[in-house]
Structure 1
Amino acid sequence: MSSLLRTQPSFRPMRDDDIDVVIAMEHVVYPFPWTRGNFHDSLQSGYSCWVCQHNQFIVGYAVLMLAAGEAHLLNVTIGLEWQGRGWGRAFMQYLIEVARDYHAETMYLEVRPSNTVARRLYHKLGFEYVAMRKAYYPARQGREDAVIMLLDMKKHA
């Protein structure tokens, strides 16, 4: 399967009426999903919440917190059936541009050390290792650390 997109995705702000689709996708992709309340609160708090679409069908979503010259990617997900096709890369590139539009100088994210595919993508996009946050994520047995990564927007313009 090619990692190149055959069609271009579209992006739009997430709405309250998207939450049912987002929650359904979240429960398929993650063993410890965000709750409906997490997404609702993100929208109500004014976070930058987005959906990635293909032919009006939601294939992914993201929550980005923007403040004080920083962007913090809280959640980014591509549905399982859409992974490995370049949708994640296109969505991340879009989110980086959103952060730039809000004059963010840096963009942070956390990722599980076990998520090697995402870590490789983030590295290719210019994110660098910053630190390890111990026991950050719930796991099947205990907790899993988080790799904190940073994109310096000035270095990757």
Structure 2
Amino acid sequence: MAYPETYQKVLEADQLVRPLAPEDVPAVLDIERQGYSHPWSESVFLDCFKDNYRLWGACHGDMLIAYAVVNYIVDEAHLLNICVHPGARGEGVGRYLLRHVLATAAHEGMSQLLLEVRVSNHAAIALYQDEGFHEVGQRPGYYPAANGREDARVLMRALGH
């Protein structure tokens, strides 16, 4: 998928974040498989269509270009998965979707948003820190990796009400 140089302007004018439906799972899986070395399965995504989850898709026109999966537990939101199509990376889509997740969680009464991120994912870590997240811990061997396991940084951001 190729995007024009003016994609950012188009994105700002034509960006839509909407709830995902089970019918979106094939498009989500396509992005997931292109984005991760150890992608979630279809059954894992389908299992997230429950009351205490929020599944969001960022669209450009009718095309799904990113998604996020958030679990709500009591007053805490946990960002389980966020991924942007490789052809749309670096254009602000991830930030736009993350800000939607944060605003919605705050609006729905969540006090904080937690997430795990691979220690090697410097671009995502920079984005999260830029959006006000700070490290609250690490999870050794949390992610599968090509040569065993990779540690995760646990990041948190308080949500104002």
User: Same fold by TM (over 0.5)?
Assistant: yes
Where structure 2 has 5 or more consecutive residues not aligned to the other structure, the ranges are none
Alignment equivalent of 1:110, drawn from 104, 116, 126: 116
Runs of 4+ residues over 3 Å off in structure 1? 1-4
For 1:37, the equivalent position in structure 2 comes to 43
Total equivalences in the alignment: 155
Q: Does 1:143 align with 2:149?
A: yes
Q: Distance in 2 between matches of 1:42 and 1:76?
A: 14
**Cα shift at 1:152:** 1.1
Where structure 1 has 5 or more consecutive residues not aligned to the other structure, the ranges are none
Q: Which amino acid aligns with 1:128?
A: H
Q: Which amino acid aligns with 2:8?
A: L
Query: Could you give the per-residue CA deviations for residues 73-126 of structure 1, whole angstroms, max 9, x where no partner exists?
Result: 000011000000011111110110111111111100000010000000000000
Aligned Cα RMSD in Å?
Answer: 1.8
Query: Which stretch shows the higher mean deviation, 8-17 or 119-128?
Result: 8-17
**Cα shift at 1:46:** 4.3
For 2:8, the equivalent position in structure 1 comes to 5
For 1:96, the equivalent position in structure 2 comes to 102
**Cα shift at 1:2:** 7.7
For 1:130, the equivalent position in structure 2 comes to 136
- Contact 1:3–1:85 (Cα < 8 Å) also in 2: no
Q: Distance in 2 between matches of 1:10 and 1:28?
A: 22
Q: Which amino acid aligns with 2:107?
A: D
